[in-house]
Amino acid sequence: MTLFTFIQGWQTGLNTFIVNVKTGPYQDGLIAQVNAGGLCSPAIQITKTASSPTASPGGNVTYTVAVNNAGSVDARDVEVTDALPSGIDSMTWTCDDGGAGLCPAASTSGSAASLDETIASLPAGAAVTYTITAAVVPSGLPSTISNTATANLPGGVCLDASGNATGEAMPCQASVVTPASMVAVSTSTDQPVYGANSPVSLGANVTNNGGSPLELSVVLSIEDSAGQQVTIFPAQNLGTLAPGATVPASQPWNTASYLAGGYVLLGRVFDSAGNLVAYDRTAFQITSSSAPGAPTAVLTVSTDKAQYQPDDRVLISNLVRNLTANAVLDDAQVQLKVLDPAGALVFSATYDMGQLPASALRAMETLQLLQGAAPGIYTVQATLIGSGEGLKNLAAGAPGPSAKDYGIGVQLATATAQYTVSGLSNPRGGPAQPIPALNAPALALLGVLLSLAALAAGRTRRRAARNTPNTQATGQEQA
């Protein structure tokens, strides 16, 4: 038996090993063993998607181009291109590599005629994503816009979206075909920012840019910042639009108690066959307060008594209320400090309350143990800290509605209280022994015990009263 081991001569790409087996005696047979260690070259995968199902004259289409090295070998000098197709006037793009430092440039400077970037190093398993905002021509739009992106790496292998080798020669390609729409829609809101329980006027202008009349309808809906549908309104029949005609549509709404945050108005236009022919979106904001400068939360602090002995217990109580009708306070916590008559910190505590829903009320109690406390006036300081939508500007001291801003660790409210420690110490000496608080069953038991004790005492007094004359008489006889 002859053993052949090939350890040299392998080349980048696909290697073919051909074995010819001929007839002969058994001992002249061939045993071949192949150890597959994966592809010996970078495996490039490129995908492309479009944000809108149609392209409207004068509108925008956002393309996402993802280039991934799905092989086990690092790639160098990967050229990514995306030329302007017919129907696109200009583009801008940004590059995202998840902070790995792979993008040749973070974005284009101004409008660009195309995307043409060379990624110097694309390690195995790494990916780079380009987001392209393409401006559709205002007139002369073709029936479809076919846009193709390429990734070129000589000697590399192309994979499809499922990760299978395509067998095609470089460059790898990914295309998106977007039908052109002769209909344009422009959505709007009467204000960019609203408070809670505020009226909102939603609108859309639909235009027929084609050369023939079109029967159209529009559907308006609202989504939150996570893309979840909040509400959808009934379709509005716009009738038959003549060429060049524009028809407005309006829809009233109210923010009610919807949570503060970012929202999007969506406008979808359909033809008589139910096909989506135009699409637009407008962002707006709901803030956590219905009036500019209104507080988000309130905090109170109090003690169970106004005056204490030097070794007493002080029960500190807090009440916290979320004053908003539509905002959740995240990571709410109360920070307590107690200062002695000289202003020195003698006690502190922090209590986490978690999430405080809109209009919610929470109460908490804290026990401070005095130990030979100096006489004088003590000050209790309480601070409410929280996170949530619309709190960033509040932290910066700017009242009123603003764009979407999620504030973290914002001071929402403060409160103070005072108590006095008298100069009298425990008359028996040593620290005072506090009387533990009793719940209802314990109080009932104590009442029963006191009643039994009173009954026993009454019986003792009656027996003593009966025995008193005899005792006196005996005493007189002995006298």
pLDDT in tens, 177-219: 988 878 889 999 999 999 888 999 999 999 998 788 999 999 9
Which pLDDT score, from 0 to 100, does residue 225 have? 86
pLDDT of residue 340: 95
Looking at residues 252-262, what average pLDDT do you find?
A: 90
pLDDT at 259: 87
Query: What is the β-pairing status of strands 406-421 and 345-356?
Result: unpaired
Dist. CA 103–CA 100, nearest whole Å: 8
- DSSP states of 26-66 as a string? GGG-----------SS-EEEEEEEES-SSB-TT-EEEEEEE
**C-alpha to C-alpha distance for 218 and 223, rounded to whole angstroms:** 16
Residue 210 is assigned to a structural domain of this protein: yes
Half-sphere exposure of residue 270: CA atoms within 13 angstroms, side-chain side: 12
Same domain for 337 and 210: no
Calpha distance 129→153 (Å, rounded): 17
Residue 5: inside a domain: no
pLDDT greater than 50 at residue 344: yes
Cβ atoms of 255 and 196 within 8 Å: the answer is yes
Q: Tell me how far apart the alpha carbons of residues 276 and 278 are, in angstroms, rounded to a whole number.
A: 6
Per the CB < 8 A criterion, the answer to whether 356 and 323 are in contact is no
The tens digit of pLDDT for each residue in 79-88 reads 999 998 999 9
Has residue 435 got a pLDDT over 50?
A: no
In this structure, the answer to whether residues 88 and 175 fall within a common structural domain is yes
pLDDT more than 70, % of the chain: 75
Q: Could you tell me the two tokens for 179? A: 């039908």
In this structure, are residues 78 and 157 in contact, taking their beta carbons and an 8 Å threshold? no
Mean pLDDT of all residues in 225-245 = 93
Backbone angles phi, psi at 401, to 5 degrees: -65, 155
Domain containing 209 equals: 183-286
Q: Is the pLDDT of residue 472 over 50?
A: no
Is the domain of 259 the same as that of 278?
Answer: yes
- Final residue of a structural domain among 155, 179, 203: 179
More confident residue, 390 or 277: 277
Q: Using the 3D structure, point to which of 161, 179, 197 is the last residue of a domain.
A: 179
Decide if pLDDT at 355 tops 80.
yes
Q: Are residues 238 and 155 in the same domain?
A: no
Judge whether residue 431 has pLDDT over 50. no
Mean pLDDT of the chain: 80
Q: Is residue 64 in some structural domain?
A: yes
Residues 255 and 164 in one domain: no
Same domain, 347 and 282: no
Residue 325: inside a domain = yes
Please give the tally of structural domains in the chain.
3
Pick the more confident residue, 31 or 217.
Answer: 217
Q: Is residue 415 part of a domain?
A: yes
Report the C-alpha gap between 98 and 77 in whole angstroms: 19
- Domain CATH number, residue 224: 2.60.40.10
Is residue 432 very low, low, confident or very high in pLDDT (cuts 50, 70, 90)? Answer: very low
Average pLDDT over residues 9-35: 53
Q: Do 240 and 303 sit in the same domain of this protein?
A: no
Q: Is 426 within a domain?
A: no
Rounded Cα–Cα distance for residues 93 and 113 (Å): 11
The C-alpha atoms of residue 195 and residue 257 are separated, in whole angstroms, by 9
Give the end-to-end CA distance of the chain in Å, rounded to a whole number.
140
Pairing of strands 276-286, 193-194: parallel
Identify whether 50 is part of a domain: yes
Whether residue 166 sits in one domain with residue 188: no
Q: What is the pLDDT of residue 278?
A: 85
Of 332-341, 404-413, 420-429, give the lowest mean pLDDT range: 420-429
Q: Which residue has the higher pLDDT, 232 or 404?
A: 232
Given this model, what pLDDT does residue 312 score? 95
Which of 329, 324, 384, 377 has the alpha carbon at shortest distance from 355? 329
Residues 196 and 233 placed together within one structural domain of the fold:
yes
Examine the pLDDT at 27 and tell me if it is beyond 60. Answer: no
- Which of the 8 DSSP states describes residue 154? T
pTM metric for this prediction:
0.49
Across residues 239-258, what is the average pLDDT?
Answer: 94
- Bridge partners for 414 per DSSP: 383
In a domain, 77, yes or no: yes
Q: pLDDT by residue (tens digit) across 388-409?
A: 765 655 444 444 444 445 678 8
**Partner residues linked to 41 by β-bridges:** none
Both 195 and 173 in a single domain? no
Same domain for 114 and 191, yes or no, is: no
What pLDDT is attached to residue 471? 35
- Give the pLDDT mean for 351-357: 89
Please give the pLDDT value at position 14: 55
Q: What is the mean pLDDT of residues 31-56?
A: 72
pLDDT digits (tens, 9 = 90+) for 133-175: 998 887 777 888 999 999 998 888 898 877 788 778 889 999 9
Do both 167 and 204 map to the same domain?
Answer: no
Q: Name the domain boundary from 286, 310, 327.
A: 286
